[in-house]
Structure formats: structure tokens, C-alpha cells
Amino acid sequence: MSNRLLAYAPKAETVPPAQWRRIAPVVRSLGFMAVAAGPYGPDVVMTPLARLVAWVEAQGLPLEPSVILDQNTVERFILVGCRDMAANSRRTCSSQLRRASEALLLDQLGQHPPIRLKATAAPVAPYPPAEIAYWLIWAQSLPTPAQRRNACLLFCLGVGCGLAVEDLVYVRGRDILAGPTGRALVKVHGRRPRTVVCRYAYEELLLAEAAHIPADAYAFRPDWQDRTSKHIASDWLAKYPRIIGRCDGAVLQTQRLRTTWLVELLNAGIPLKVILKASGLATLHSLSRYLIFLHDVPEAEASDLLRGAAA
């Protein structure tokens, strides 16, 4: 490892040779410390460090570890000194330097990295009824039986049963059952096992498509081998053009289908414990992010609800 560090020299277009001769001792010293502190090896960390030190010198800043590796210096370098890099390369360089900086500052100077504040991601909005209708037409209008089945199952399991991708990809033919009085039941496996009753509007279509699926075959994309892939649904959807008309520009997303299902249940006044059990969610806090999508209740109706029925 030490030989690789000592032998390292950046390309001339990365750091001019004359400048490299001036800053090489500093870069190699930082390289030794960075590799010792982790998390990267010399093949990964040396070029970003060389770029950073070259930029720091060009700015007239002191070539001291506490200055070079300061988070503000690194951030300024990424914003100003990496403009010539492609976006992906800039993000990679940023990640490598920030992690190396945090490890070095903690190891050498005892400085803990700053606390990173992260806002909770806003939930995707549910589909309005008009878009649901258009997507349903789209699913049933695809040219081949296999395409129609995949689309209808994705749609019914998403907006009809509220299954997330990690749930629906493991549903097999035997897991979709006809229950009493025409109900469609779906057995969900994995880390949130449960049985979900499909919404009335989609149960007939779900059962009709499931009738063509062998018991041991996966319902959605049975030919897809890697069931752990996060892209099993998005990869399939990307093959098809966006639908036209009032939904032009809209994209079918499994998370939005699940959100639509959850919001519909909440607006219907279904008991929260029933929703939690059917959705596989563990706490009421998991539902709080969807409150912004619930219907407003007229004041008179709210008053009657709060008053309750007369004894």
C-alpha cells in the first residue's frame, strides 16, 4: 500500500506536473492518513485528494490538514473547483472527500463531523380518480396477454390491495384466492406477512387475471429471476409510453398506487387498527404523513360526529 501511495502521480490534465511537484508531499501525507483512518484505499482516495490540494493551493489557502479537510473547504471545492467534472463524477468525488475528511478529522484532530440535518421525505400524492380510470384503461389495452396481465396485476395489487413493490413481487398464483361473497384475498409473505382483502372495485379483475397464473408461478413478471431487485416494477413500466389525454406526462408509480389505497381507506373512515394490519405498518406515526391528503370535513358534519348519537 505504501508503495502505491509513494508512486502515485495524477494525470497532467488533473494536476499540472509543475504544481504536482510542489504539492506532492502534502497529498501523499494526507493519503497515508486517509487510508489509515479509512474508509478508502489509495486507488480511490488519492486523485480526489490531489484535486482538492491543488485547488486549495490555487486559492492561496494554507496547505494544512485542518484547512484542507475542513468541511467548508471541501464543500467550496465541490461547488467551485469541480465545475469541469460530469455530474456523476462530481457526486462521487464529493462523497469520497467528505467521508475521508470526516475520518481524518476525527482520527487526527479529534473533531467529530457536523450533524447532518435531514428532512422527512414528503409522501407522493395519491392519484386522482380520473387518472386511476385512465390507468385502468391503459392496463387493459396493452397488446399481449402477458403485458395486460402484468399491468393489471401491478395495478390491482397496488391500488386495490396497497402492496408495496417488496410485497407484490413475491405474490404467487396460489396467494390470490377467492373468498366468500366474491372477495379477493391476497396472502402477503416476507417481513410483513398478512392477508389483504382487495378493494371491491378491483377484485373481479384481480381474480380474472389470477385464474391464468400457475399456483407456483410469480404473479407479476414470472420470468424475472432477481426478485430482490428494486427495479423489477420500474424497469417494466419504463418500456411503455406514458398514457395520453388528461394524464399526459403522468407516470405510473407503485408507491403512488399504495398511497392512493391508503388515503382512500383513511378517507372512508376505516378503523386505524384495520388499516395498520392490512398495510403492514407498525405504528400510527407511519400514517401521519398522509394526513395532508385527507378530505376536509364540513363544520356541521364534524360537529355531529363529535357530538355522537343521542342516547
One domain for residues 99 and 211: no
One domain for residues 141 and 65: no
Mean pLDDT of 142-146: 89
One domain for residues 162 and 284: yes
Q: Answer yes or no: is 310 within a domain.
A: no
Count of structural domains, the chain:
2
Q: Answer yes or no: is 121 within a domain.
A: no
Q: Answer yes or no: is 118 within a domain.
A: no
Query: Could you tell me the residue range of the domain that residue 271 belongs to?
Result: 129-296
One domain for residues 174 and 269: yes
One domain for residues 142 and 291: yes
Q: Answer yes or no: is 259 within a domain.
A: yes
Q: What is the pLDDT of residue 245?
A: 40
- Any idea what the CATH number is for the domain that residue 133 is in? 1.10.443.10
Q: Answer yes or no: is 240 within a domain.
A: yes
Q: DSSP letter string over the chain?
A: -HHHHHH----TTTS-HHHHHHHHHHHHHHHHHHHHH-S--HHHHHHHHHHHHHHHHHTT----HHHHT-HHHHHHIIIIITTTS-HHHHHHHHHHHHHHHHHHIIIII-PPPPPPP-PPPPPPPPPPHHHHHHHHHHHTT-SSHHHHHHHHHHHIIIIIT---HHHHTT-BGGGEEE-GGG-EEEEE-TTS-EEEEPPHHHHHHHHHHHTTS-TTSBSS-TT---TT-TTHHHHHHTTSPPP-GGGTT----HHHHHHHHHHHHHHTT--HHHHHHHHT--STHHHHTTGGGSPPPPHHHHHHHHH----
Express each pLDDT in 201-241 by its tens digit. 999 999 999 999 999 999 999 988 777 777 788 778 877 65
Lowest mean pLDDT among 101-105, 191-195, 261-265: 101-105
